[in-house]
Structures are given as structure tokens and as C-alpha cells.
């Protein structure tokens, strides 16, 4: 855990307190235990969890720099990444996790209870359905997703959820520069505009990683997102 604390500070200027380190260790322990019974993540050793889950989640702070959001919705969160590590960093953050797979949503609820995280909720639903729900549509400062879909599809999942003046950040791999060019039209249709692509370096990880950031500049038309399953089959 000392290595994680040091890397977080050196790479992302993230300072982890003793209590936060304990919370991360508890999270790690629960993830390893649950993963023996149900397949939550392909990453199954502590060192990789700390780098490829925790540290990778912390990289999102590069998107908002010194001003963390008041509210964040994490779409396709899986076992809680990047949302729960960010919530541990920012206890005041109002967090909503969206996960359509029941066993993963159940694990997220379990971790929220174990860590006694306040103002954190899990929605077991498809992103398209949440995006048309008036209690969530246009309600968040930031929306995030990691390894969920290509950027033209993610635009339709994420942009309807954030306020005008808010933004989205997608954690992407090697294809991000190509994807962002292909997603410009989709973002414009949905009220967004791609702002930048930030390169992310993680220790002992050779794969390229990026944060793709788009601003919400105008309201999303009412017919987006389309019905569940359609954005992935017929991307904008």
C-alpha cells in the first residue's frame, strides 16, 4: 500500500490519508474474496488491483485538476471502478454507480455498506434507461466510464446524464486518438464537444492509456439516448 500512496502522489498529486488507505485495503480484501466465488474482474492479485484498478481510477483527477466534482455518475462501473476509489478520495462526492449485471451491482452495494460510504448509490439498470430517467438526466457535474464502449457509443450513454456546463471523462486505451475523431459528430448531436485527450502513464503497465474529455455545451435532444441496445448496434 505504501507504493500505491507514493505513486498516487507522484503521478496525480493525490494524497491518501491513513483512513483512506485502510478503506482501500478493505476494498481490495473484499474484491479478492468475492472474486473467488463470482467473476468480478480478471485482475486477481493485490499488486495488479492497486495499479490497474486503484491507481488507474485515481488518474481521473487529471480531468478536473484542482476542482473535484460535487456529483459523479459512473456508468458500467463493474466492481466499482473508477467511482468507488474516487469516492474514497473525495468523501463529500455525491456518487451514483450504474451497473446492469446483478452480481456486480450487488458487490458495489456491499462495498458501499462495508465502507459506510454516504451519498453513494447503485442503480442496476442499462445506461440508456438511466439517461431517460428524469431523476438522473442532466443532474450530474461529471459522468465517467471505463472500458465500456467506443467513444461514439459512450457519448450517447454519458452526455445525457450531465448538466450543461458539466463534462464527461472516458478512460480509454490505445485506440483513443482514432475514436475521438470518429466521435466528434456524435458528441455534437448530443450537446457535447470533445475538449482534450490526456495521456496516462501507470507504473509497470506498457499499454497506452488515455482520458478522453468532452464538455456538455448544450442540452441533449429528448430522443437521446435511444432505447437500450440500439446505441451499440447503430452508433451515431
Strands (E), 55-208: 71-75, 94-98, 120-123, 140-146, 162-172, 192-200
**Amino acid 43: pLDDT:** 78
Distance CA 149, CA 51 (A): 22
Location of C-alpha cell 452480481 = 103
Beta strands 94-98 and 140-146 are unpaired
**Amino acid 166: pLDDT:** 97
**Amino acid 41: pLDDT:** 81
**Residues 105 and 42: beta-carbon distance below 8 Å:** no
User: Pick from 123, 161, 119: which is nearest to 143 by CA?
Assistant: 161
User: Pick from 48, 63, 110: which is nearest to 84 by CA?
Assistant: 110
Residue ranges of the chain with per-residue pLDDT less than 50: none
Q: Which helix (H) or strand (E) holds 178?
A: helix 176-182
73: Cβ contacts below 8 Å, ≥ 6 apart:
95, 96, 97, 98, 130, 136, 139, 140, 142, 143, 144, 161, 162
**Residues 82 and 171: beta-carbon distance below 8 Å:** yes
Residue 49 is given by DSSP the state I
Residue 160 is given by DSSP the state G
Residue 94 C-alpha from the chain's centroid: 13
Domains and CATH numbers, the chain: 68-233 (3.40.50.150)
Residues 122-154 pLDDT 10s: 999 999 999 999 999 999 999 999 977 899 999
**Residues 68 and 150: beta-carbon distance below 8 Å:** no
**Amino acid 117: pLDDT:** 98
Amino acid at each position: 500500500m505504501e507504493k500505491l500512496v507514493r505513486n498516487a502522489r507522484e503521478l496525480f498529486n493525490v494524497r491518501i490519508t491513513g483512513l483512506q488507505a485502510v478503506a482501500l485495503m478493505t476494498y481490495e480484501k473484499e474484491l479478492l474474496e468475492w472474486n473467488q466465488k463470482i467473476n468480478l474482474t480478471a485482475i486477481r492479485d493485490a499488486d495488479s488491483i492497486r495499479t490497474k484498478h486503484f491507481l488507474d481510477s485515481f488518474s481521473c483527477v487529471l480531468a478536473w485538476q484542482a476542482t473535484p466534482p460535487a456529483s459523479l455518475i459512473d456508468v458500467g462501473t463493474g466492481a466499482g471502478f473508477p467511482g468507488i476509489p474516487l469516492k474514497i478520495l473525495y468523501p463529500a462526492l455525491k456518487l451514483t454507480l450504474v451497473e446492469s449485471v446483478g452480481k456486480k451491482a450487488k458487490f458495489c452495494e456491499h462495498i458501499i455498506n462495508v465502507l459506510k460510504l454516504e451519498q453513494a448509490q447503485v442503480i442496476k439498470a442499462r445506461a440508456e434507461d438511466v439517461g431517460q430517467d428524469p431523476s438522473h438526466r442532466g443532474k450530474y457535474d461529471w459522468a465517467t466510464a471505463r472500458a465500456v464502449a467506443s467513444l461514439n457509443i459512450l457519448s450517447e450513454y454519458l452526455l445525457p446524464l450531465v448538466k450543461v456546463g458539466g463534462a464527461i471523462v472516458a478512460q480509454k486505451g490505445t485506440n483513443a486518438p482514432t475514436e475521438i475523431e470518429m466521435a466528434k459528430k456524435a458528441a455534437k448531436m448530443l450537446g457535447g464537444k470533445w475538449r482534450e485527450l490526456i495521456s496516462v502513464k501507470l507504473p509497470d503497465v506498457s499499454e497506452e492509456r488515455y482520458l478522453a474529455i468532452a464538455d456538455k455545451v448544450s442540452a441533449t435532444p429528448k430522443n437521446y439516448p435511444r432505447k437500450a441496445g440500439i446505441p451499440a448496434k447503430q452508433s451515431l
